[in-house]
Amino acid sequence: MEANGLSKSFRLGDGSIRVLADADIRLEEASSLSIQGSSGCGKTTLLNLLARLEKADAGTVSWDGRKMTASSSPSSRESVMRADFLGVVYQAYYLIPELNVLENILMAARLSSSVNRDSEDRARSLLSRMGVGDKAKQIPNKLSGGERQRVAIARALINKPRVLLADEPTGNLDERTGGQVMDLLMTACDEEKTGLILVTHNPIFAESADSRVFLKEGKLITDEEFEEIERKANDEEN
Amino acid sequence: MKVPWPLYLAWKQLFPSGKKVSFFSLLSIIGVALGVNVMIVVIAFMQGFQQKFRKDIINAQGHARVVPLKPYASWDKIPPRLRKIDNVVGVTPYLQAQLLLQSGNYHAIPFCMGLQPEDGDEVLPVDDFLKGGMLRLQAHDAEDVTPLPTMEMLEDDVVFLSSQTANRLGVRPSAVVQVYEANATLPESTEQSPVRVTRLDSYVESGEWELLFMPSEGSCVVRENVSGDEFVWEYEKGSLDLGFGYPVFEISQGADPFVAGDRFLFQVFKANKIEIFSPSMIDQAKADEMIPPREVRVGGIFEVPWQGFQMEALIGTMRFMADMRDQEGACDGFYLKFSGPVARNEVQLQKKCRELELVLEEDWAVVPWFVENAWFFELLKFEEYLMVLIMIPIGLVAAFAIAIALMTTVLRKIREIGLLIAMGGRRFSVGMVFCLQGFIIGGLGAVLGCGLALLFIRYREVIMTFIVERIAGSDGQAGVAQFYNFHSLEVPFPWESSESLSTFLSFALFAVLVSTVAGLLPALRATRLNPADSLRSE
């Protein structure tokens, strides 16, 4: 997955706020990348732009070598492609309450039109790997937060996506559960050879990724650049 | 077969896993079902009434009427010609008149129709119209056993009156009651009431008839107590028919044999007479000519189920009517009855009528029943359409309720909608989820509504008796039944009549369509949502 020159600003009253300015990002196949940044700096917007859920002001996004203009609306073909190429995990799980755990996972398979006789076996296998194999027939409302997020990860992986976008997946969980969930997510992505873009506030989780970038004032910067900026800021304060 | 995901999700949102049915789904489906049920039942009953009127009209005037277009010399050669034509099963000539009837101080000017006794019931089931007279006895020791008159009893000096005319004039036909006095044999002594009066003509005189069984087997003495006439009747040889002016007795085999001394007593009341004046007689009376009125006996009382037939009416012979009009051999036309597809199909009937007009060389017009009564059926159709118009808002109210509920669902599920798009769902497909929910609610509601309507039609008698009894009481039930006879109403099931099938299908489709359209607005709202905004929403 690759994005070049992504820019995005939001209107606010008479003016506008620039969230992204000419941002470039590249994720190698089956690798992981974490994105850190302060609240409201535009991390979720960046993920939405990468997933083509939102139009950018400028730039391009490439999925599996297919280059798309980020400022245009996604086509129907892109929607179909998104189901196979991308998996998504959100902080708030977003499980469909009318479906049980297994049906929730298979729903993603239905959307990608890849549902077949093996899908249920794969869904059950993913649930087992996530440690919630016995919850297949449970209703989401009866599950704990950690269990729900494990189900959401299983759902994101059901179609064997090339890239998984995780937006603060442990944001609603306590530290211990969050750690467990993050371990499962990283392990599953490794095993499935799925690339991972992880948005998180937690530096430990961020460090566990193959590479790490920071989003600051609309720019994506590397670890070293970020540390340099932080040091300068501290010096100025002193 | 793989179910498309919008349909799968729509179904699951209405019938979630782990629950039998959601409250919203249940209420919506019941709402649609009740609407469909009411619409079908009302229209099916309206059609039932139309069917009943159609049947009553055909009974009262046949399938068509042949009327002369110009003065004619002789008509008696036409019925045989008509009878030879395919599908013609009955031809009844008639002659009409307006006559003044008088009985004591009471007068009536009914619609008068003359028929020939030999073929008068070929088209019109006059025997079915004839009812008992007004001698209604309610006594523990006597019972009205008057046999119903028949068309055979119609003669030149005998007329049948509609019940309204008979009531107005206060007249009745001859009658007979069986008296259970101390010495008479009670009906309980035999398993079947064995002695019956099978014919009581209009010339019978008032009197008391006594039947006394003798020791010798197979005979009894029949005595008329007023005149003292006495006969011995060997009842095993057949009925006792003493000719006109006498009641005909018959014995049906009972379980218990007659024993000597068994005694049966009957009291006979002669028929009332009425005086009849024709317009020419009245003209002559005005010119001071003394013309005596024609005196006739009341032979029977009739009731025609078709209200369009004159309420005040008289049926006499054609000859009597010709006499009264002073037009010997006159005929005003013929009633016709057909069989087969001509009788059942209005288009075929119309064609047949045209064919008959050509056969009769355009001297006669052949008017089918539905043309003659077009005004009435147009009125009924108008009433039916009006009912539909009144009931359509019921469907629309259900649709609004569904639309509001689905719109609320869209707002409640705004983040799920965003997620579905993020997972690869197309906006159109996401919208379809809500449209299909409307479709499913409409479909299930229509099926349930049709089922309820079938149950209502099947058990209409029980349901209507229950309702009418509670509204009008058991006494009022008879009054309601007179005008709205749900019991005898023919309301066909969809597999019995194409009209009924089309009613069921029309309202079921209407419900599905309206419910689906109700889902369109929420669907449109869902498709327009920005997925990123939806996922951010709180």
Q: Which residues contact B26 (CB under 8 A, 6 or more apart)?
A: none
CA distances (Å), origin A5, targets A46, A50, A52, A213, B351: 12, 12, 15, 16, 83
Q: B426 to chain A, minimum CA–CA distance in Å?
A: 6
pLDDT band with cut points at 50, 70 and 90 for residue B186: low
Domain count for chain A, please give it.
1
Chain A residues whose beta carbon lies within 8 Å of the beta carbon of residue B18: 100, 139
Cβ separation A98–B12 shorter than 8 A: yes
Q: Which of B18, B416, B530 sits opposite A94 (nearest CB)?
A: B416
CA distances (Å), origin A153, targets A147, A162, B7, B252, B338: 10, 14, 25, 93, 79
Q: B344 in a domain, yes or no?
A: no
Residue where the block lists tokens 């976008």: A165
Residues B486-501: pLDDT tens digits? Answer: 666 788 888 988 888 9
Cβ separation A54–B536 shorter than 8 A: no
Residues A149 and A92: their CA atoms lie apart, in Å, by: 8
Q: B21 in a domain, yes or no?
A: yes
Environment class of residue B227 by beta-carbon count within 10 Å: exposed (0-12), middle (13-18) or buried (19+)? exposed
Cβ separation A107–B9 shorter than 8 A: yes
Q: A116 in a domain, yes or no?
A: yes
Residues B194 and B208: their CA atoms lie apart, in Å, by: 18
pLDDT greater than 50 at residue B420? yes
Please compute Rg for chain A using Cα positions: 18
Residues B321-361: pLDDT tens digits? Answer: 998 888 888 888 899 998 888 888 888 988 988 988 888 87
- Counted across chains A and B, CB pairs separated by less than 8 A come out at 80
Residues in chain B: 538
Q: B237 in a domain, yes or no?
A: no
CB B263 within 8 A of CB B195: no
Q: Which domain holds residue B385?
A: 5-53+376-536
Closest-approach residue (CA) in chain B for A74: B426
Q: List the single best residue of A61, A80, A96, A168 to mutate versus B (max B Cβ within 10 A).
A: A96
Q: Is A136 on the interface with B (CB under 8 A)?
A: no
Q: A69 in a domain, yes or no?
A: no
Q: Residue B40 corresponds to which tokens in the numbers above?
A: 């079908």
Q: Residue B322 corresponds to which tokens in the numbers above?
A: 């010709």
Domain count for chain B, please give it.
1
pLDDT greater than 50 at residue B318? yes
Q: Which of A53, A82, A103 sits opposite B17 (nearest CB)?
A: A103
Kindly state the average pLDDT of the residues B474-479: 70
Q: B482 in a domain, yes or no?
A: yes
Q: Which of B416, B424, B536 sits opposite A111 (nearest CB)?
A: B424
Residue type, A117: R
Phi, psi (degrees; rounded to nearest 5) at A60: -135, 155
The DSSP result for B447-496, as a single string, is HHHHHHHHHHHHTHHHHHHHHHHHHHHHHHHHHHHHH--TTT-----TTT
Q: B521 in a domain, yes or no?
A: yes
Please report, for the domain that includes residue A27, its CATH number: 3.40.50.300
Cβ separation B425–A86 shorter than 8 A: no
3-class SS of residue B17: coil
Q: Which of A84, A103, A111 sits opposite B425 (nearest CB)?
A: A111
Residues B392 and A98: their CA atoms lie apart, in Å, by: 33
Closest-approach residue (CA) in chain B for A164: B423
3-class SS of residue A61: strand
Put simply, the chain B residues between 403 and 432 with a CB less than 8 A from any chain A CB are: 415-416, 418-428
Q: A197 in a domain, yes or no?
A: yes
Cβ separation B423–A97 shorter than 8 A: no
Cβ separation A96–B422 shorter than 8 A: no
Residues A100 and A121: their CA atoms lie apart, in Å, by: 16
Cβ separation B2–A115 shorter than 8 A: yes
Cβ separation A107–B424 shorter than 8 A: no
Q: Which domain holds residue A16?
A: 2-54+75-237
Residues B524 and B442: their CA atoms lie apart, in Å, by: 19
3-class SS of residue A57: coil
Residues B432 and B426: their CA atoms lie apart, in Å, by: 10
Percent with pLDDT over 70 in chain B: 91
3-class SS of residue B132: coil
Chain A residues whose beta carbon lies within 8 Å of the beta carbon of residue B428: 76
Closest-approach residue (CA) in chain B for A77: B426
Closest-approach residue (CA) in chain A for B22: A98
Q: A68 in a domain, yes or no?
A: no
Closest-approach residue (CA) in chain A for B6: A111
Phi-psi category of residue A113: left, alpha or beta, with phi > 0 → left and psi -120 to 50 → alpha: left
Which range is least confidently modeled, B204-208, B299-303, B323-327, B375-379?
B375-379
Residues B139-152: pLDDT tens digits? Answer: 567 788 888 888 88
The DSSP result for B394-414, as a single string, is HHHHHHHHHHHHHHHHHHHTH
The DSSP result for A176-236, as a single string, is HHHHHHHHHHHHHHHHHT-EEEEE-S-HHHHHTSSEEEEEETTEEEEHHHHHHHHHHHHHH
pLDDT band with cut points at 50, 70 and 90 for residue A106: very high
Q: A137 in a domain, yes or no?
A: yes
Look at residue B452 in the predicted model and tell me its pLDDT.
95
Q: Which of B9, B18, B420 sits opposite A100 (nearest CB)?
A: B18
B534 alpha carbon, distance to own chain's centre:
63
Chain A residues whose beta carbon lies within 8 Å of the beta carbon of residue B9: 96, 107
CA distances (Å), origin A40, targets A45, B31, B534: 9, 47, 17
Secondary element (H or E) of residue B209: strand B207-213
Residues A108-154: pLDDT tens digits? Answer: 988 887 777 888 899 999 999 888 889 999 999 899 888 999 999 99
Q: What is the ipTM of this complex?
A: 0.87
Q: A177 to chain B, minimum CA–CA distance in Å?
A: 24
Kindly state the average pLDDT of the residues A211-236: 81
Q: B114 in a domain, yes or no?
A: no
CB B36 within 8 A of CB B445: yes
Cβ separation A88–B416 shorter than 8 A: no
